[in-house]
C-alpha cells in the first residue's frame, strides 16, 4: 500500500451535482437541500473518547447530537436552557450538569480576572467520570469557558503547556485570551493525579 511516487488521476469535473441514488433519508435531492444532513453545533469537536466540546446547541443541531448517543451535557452558561433544549434532554434521557459561569463577569475583566476555579474543577470531575459519558461540554461559543475546562483536562493528561495553548487557540482563534491560558497554567492538578483517566486515548 506504500505509494512512493504517485501519479494523480486528474479530477474530472462532471458538472453533475445530483444526489447519489442511495443517498440516505430522502432519496431525493438531500445533498442540495441539506435535508438529512447533520449540523454539528458551533465549534464542535471530539476531545477524547466519549468527550465532546462545542458552542451552544440549538434545534438545528439536535439530530446530530442525537447521533452521538449523549448521556450527559455540561452547560457552562448561567442562563436557563430554552424550552426546546430541555425537551431534547428529556426525550433523549440526557442528564444536564449546569455550572453557570458568567462569561462577561469572569472572562472579560482584564487584567483582574477571577476565573471560578472550583466551578471549573467541578465540571472537570463530571468529565472524568465515565459514568457520564458520552458527555458534551459547551458554553456559548465553545471558546473560553469550554476551552478552560478542556485545557485543565489536557493538563491532567500531562500535555505540555504549549500544546494545550495551541489547542485552546485553535478554538478561540482571534478571541484567545491570555487570562484563560494563565488560568490553565496555574490550575493545580496535584490532588487529582490519583484519578485514573480510564477513557483517555493518551494514557497517563
- Dist. CA 120–CA 136, nearest whole Å: 15
Identify the three-state secondary structure at position 107.
Answer: helix
Grid cell listed for 99: 455550572
Which of 27, 28, 29, 37 touches a copy of itself (CB under 8 A)?
A: 37
Q: Is 149 exposed, middle or buried (0-12, 13-18, 19+ CB in 10 A)?
A: buried
Kindly write out the interface string for residues 3-22 of this chain, putting x where it contacts a copy of itself by CB under 8 A and - elsewhere: xxxx-xxxx-x-----xxxx
- Dist. CA 133–CA 111, nearest whole Å: 36
**98 contributes a contact to a copy of itself by CB under 8 A:** yes
Using the minimum distance from each CB to a copy of itself, give the nearer residue, 80 or 91.
80
- Dist. CA 170–CA 69, nearest whole Å: 26
- Dist. CA 143–CA 140, nearest whole Å: 8
Residue indicated by cell numbers 442528564: 95
Catalytic residue from among 139, 148, 160, 201: 139
Which of 109, 196, 198, 204 touches a copy of itself (CB under 8 A)?
A: 204
**33 contributes a contact to a copy of itself by CB under 8 A:** no
- Dist. CA 165–CA 44, nearest whole Å: 18
**202 contributes a contact to a copy of itself by CB under 8 A:** yes
Q: Could you tell me how many residues of this chain bind a copy of itself (CB under 8 A)?
A: 79
Per the annotation, the verdict on 139 as an active-site residue is yes
Stretch that binds a copy of itself, among 84-92, 145-153, 167-175 (CB under 8 A): 167-175
- Dist. CA 175–CA 140, nearest whole Å: 13
**24 contributes a contact to a copy of itself by CB under 8 A:** yes
**82 contributes a contact to a copy of itself by CB under 8 A:** no
**184 contributes a contact to a copy of itself by CB under 8 A:** no
**44 contributes a contact to a copy of itself by CB under 8 A:** yes
Find the binding residues for a copy of itself in span 139-158 (CB under 8 A).
157-158
Catalytic residues: 139
Amino acid at each position: 500500500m506504500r505509494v512512493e511516487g504517485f501519479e494523480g488521476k486528474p479530477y474530472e469535473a462532471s458538472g453533475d451535482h445530483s444526489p447519489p441514488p442511495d443517498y440516505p433519508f430522502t432519496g431525493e435531492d438531500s445533498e442540495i437541500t441539506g435535508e438529512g444532513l447533520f449540523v454539528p453545533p458551533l465549534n464542535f469537536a471530539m476531545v477524547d473518547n466519549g468527550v465532546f466540546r462545542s458552542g451552544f446547541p440549538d434545534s438545528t443541531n439536535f439530530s446530530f447530537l442525537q447521533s452521538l448517543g449523549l448521556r450527559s451535557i455540561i452547560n457552562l452558561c448561567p442562563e436557563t436552557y430554552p424550552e426546546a433544549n430541555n425537551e431534547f434532554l428529556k426525550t433523549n434521557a440526557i442528564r444536564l450538569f449546569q455550572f453557570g459561569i458568567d462569561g462577561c463577569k469572569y472572562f472579560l475583566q482584564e487584567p483582574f480576572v477571577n476565573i471560578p476555579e472550583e466551578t471549573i474543577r467541578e465540571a472537570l470531575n463530571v468529565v472524568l467520570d465515565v459514568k457520564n459519558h458520552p458527555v458534551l461540554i459547551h458554553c456559548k461559543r465553545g471558546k473560553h469557558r469550554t476551552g478552560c475546562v478542556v485545557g485543565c483536562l489536557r493538563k491532567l493528561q500531562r500535555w505540555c503547556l504549549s500544546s494545550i495553548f495551541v489547542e485552546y487557540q485553535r478554538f478561540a482563534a482571534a478571541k484567545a485570551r491570555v487570562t484563560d491560558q494563565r488560568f490553565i497554567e496555574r490550575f493545580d492538578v496535584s490532588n487529582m493525579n490519583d484519578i485514573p483517566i480510564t477513557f483517555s486515548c493518551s494514557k497517563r
